[in-house]
């Protein structure tokens, strides 16, 4: 079944529900993998080193220990992220697909500890957390 163009979809409840289900499935799968294998014991994407280096060059002050939605959701932040992410189109699977990320890496995915981001943002945050030891707390539970 072909999906309608974005401008034709409006706020289709069924499509939004499918996106939410896929995002929640991704979150659950990631947490299981993180807890079973441990942070940094697996690659989140084939270009992880390049992505992490580029992320820290463009967002050196972004605190991945406690995410602030304004770093992702303001118009200025969205523009900066959009410019950063476009170079990864075709290089990262589903690079701009919506997913969930934990606000605080010490906690699990909950309504209060999750926010909606795109896949490239998720990868940048979680790769940094793994490399900086911030996901270690989740495996200690």
> How high is the pLDDT of residue 5?
54
What does the pLDDT look like over 82-118, one tens digit per residue?
999 999 999 999 899 899 999 999 999 999 999 999 9
State the pLDDT at residue 102. 96
d(CA 46, CA 58): 20
The tokens describing 134, both together, are 């911030």
**pLDDT for the residue 138:** 82
Q: What is the pLDDT of residue 25?
A: 87
Please state which architecture CATH assigns to domain 14-139. Orthogonal Bundle (1.10)
pTM, rounded to two decimals: 0.86
pLDDT digits (tens, 9 = 90+) for 2-35: 545 555 555 567 766 777 788 888 899 999 999 9
Predicted local confidence at residue 1, as pLDDT: 46
**d(C-alpha 6, C-alpha 113), whole Å:** 29
For residue range 122-138, what is the model confidence (pLDDT) as tens digits? 999 999 999 999 999 88
DSSP state of 101: E
Q: Could you read off the pLDDT of 35-77 as tens digits, one per residue?
A: 988 888 889 999 999 999 999 999 999 999 999 999 999 999 9
State how far the Cα of 108 lies from the Cα of 8, in Å rounded to an integer. 35
Q: Are 125 and 32 in contact (CB under 8 A)?
A: no
33 to 39, 82, 86, 135: CA distances (angstroms):
9, 28, 28, 12
| Ranges of each domain in the chain | 14-139
């Amino acid at each position: 079944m072909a999906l309608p163009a974005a401008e034709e979809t409006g706020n289709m409840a069924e499509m939004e529900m499918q996106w939410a289900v896929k995002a929640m499935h991704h979150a659950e799968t990631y947490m299981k993998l993180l807890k079973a294998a441990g942070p940094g014991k697996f690659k989140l994407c084939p270009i992880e080193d390049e992505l992490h280096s580029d992320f820290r060059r463009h967002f050196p002050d972004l605190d991945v220990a406690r995410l602030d939605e304004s770093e992702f959701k303001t118009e200025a932040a969205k523009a900066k992220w959009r410019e950063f992410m476009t170079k990864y189109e075709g290089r990262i699977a589903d690079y701009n697909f919506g997913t969930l990320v934990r606000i605080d890496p010490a906690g699990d995915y909950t309504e209060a500890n999750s926010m909606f981001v795109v896949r490239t943002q998720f990868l940048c945050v979680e790769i940094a957390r793994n490399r900086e030891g911030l996901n270690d707390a989740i495996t200690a539970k």
